[in-house]
Amino acid sequence: MRDILVAGNWKMNGNSAANAELVAGIIAGVPQGSGFSLLVCPPYPYLAAVVAQTEGSAVSVGSQNVSEHEKGAFTGEVAPGMLRDLGCTYAIVGHSERRAIYGETSAQVAAKFQAAQAAGITPILCVGETLEEREAGTTESVVDEQLDAVLDVAGIDALATAVIAYEPVWAIGTGMTASPEQAQDVHRHIRGRLEALNANIAAGVQILYGGSMKGENAAGLLAKPDIDGGLIGGASLKAEDFLAIAAAAAQN
Ligand code: PEP
CB atoms closer than 10 angstroms to residue 53: 20
Q: Which of 13, 232, 236 to mutate to test the pocket of ligand 1 (most atoms within 8 A of CB)?
A: 232
Instruction: Evaluate whether residue 12 is within a structural domain.
Output: no
Q: What percent of the chain has pLDDT over 90?
A: 97
Mean pLDDT of the chain: 97
Mean pLDDT of 173-191: 95
CA-nearest residue, atom 2 of ligand 1? 233
Is 167 one of the catalytic residues?
yes
8 Å CB contact between 106 and 152: no
Instruction: Evaluate whether residue 31 is within a structural domain.
Output: no
End-to-end Cα spacing for the chain? 12
CB 231 near ligand 1, within 6 Å:
yes
Question: For position 125, what pLDDT does the model report?
Answer: 98
Instruction: Evaluate whether residue 43 is within a structural domain.
Output: no
Residue pLDDT, tens place only, 99-152: 999 999 999 999 999 999 999 999 999 999 999 999 999 999 999 999 999 999
Question: For position 1, what pLDDT does the model report?
Answer: 74
pLDDT at position 36 over 80: yes
CB 80 near ligand 1, within 6 Å:
no
Instruction: Evaluate whether residue 8 is within a structural domain.
Output: no
* Residues spanned by the domain of 123: 65-233
Mean pLDDT of 1-20: 97
Question: For position 16, what pLDDT does the model report?
Answer: 98
As a dihedral over the C-alpha atoms of residue 29, residue 32, residue 35, residue 36, rounded to 10 degrees, the angle is 0
Entry pTM: 0.98
Instruction: Evaluate whether residue 249 is within a structural domain.
Output: no
Question: For position 5, what pLDDT does the model report?
Answer: 98
CB 128 near ligand 1, within 6 Å:
no
Alpha-carbon distance of 248 to 103, in angstroms, equals: 35
Atom of ligand 1 nearest to the CA of 172: 10
Is 95 one of the catalytic residues?
yes
Instruction: Evaluate whether residue 168 is within a structural domain.
Output: yes
Alpha-carbon distance of 206 to 105, in angstroms, equals: 23
CB 178 near ligand 1, within 6 Å:
no
DSSP run (H or E) holding 6: strand 4-9
Question: For position 173, what pLDDT does the model report?
Answer: 87
CATH assignment at residue 167:
3.20.20.70
Atom of ligand 1 nearest to the CA of 235: 8
Catalytic: which of 95, 129, 133, 187?
95
Total number of domains constituting the chain: 1
Axis crossing angle, helix 180-195 with helix 215-222, rounded to the nearest 10? 40
8 Å CB contact between 107 and 97: no
Question: For position 67, what pLDDT does the model report?
Answer: 98
Instruction: Evaluate whether residue 13 is within a structural domain.
Output: no
Question: For position 175, what pLDDT does the model report?
Answer: 85
Instruction: Evaluate whether residue 15 is within a structural domain.
Output: no
Axis crossing angle, helix 139-154 with helix 106-118, rounded to the nearest 10? 40
Q: What percent of the chain has pLDDT over 70?
A: 100
Q: How confident is the model at residue 176 (pLDDT cuts 50, 70, 90)?
A: confident
Of 163, 167, 159, 160, the C-alpha closest to 142 is 167
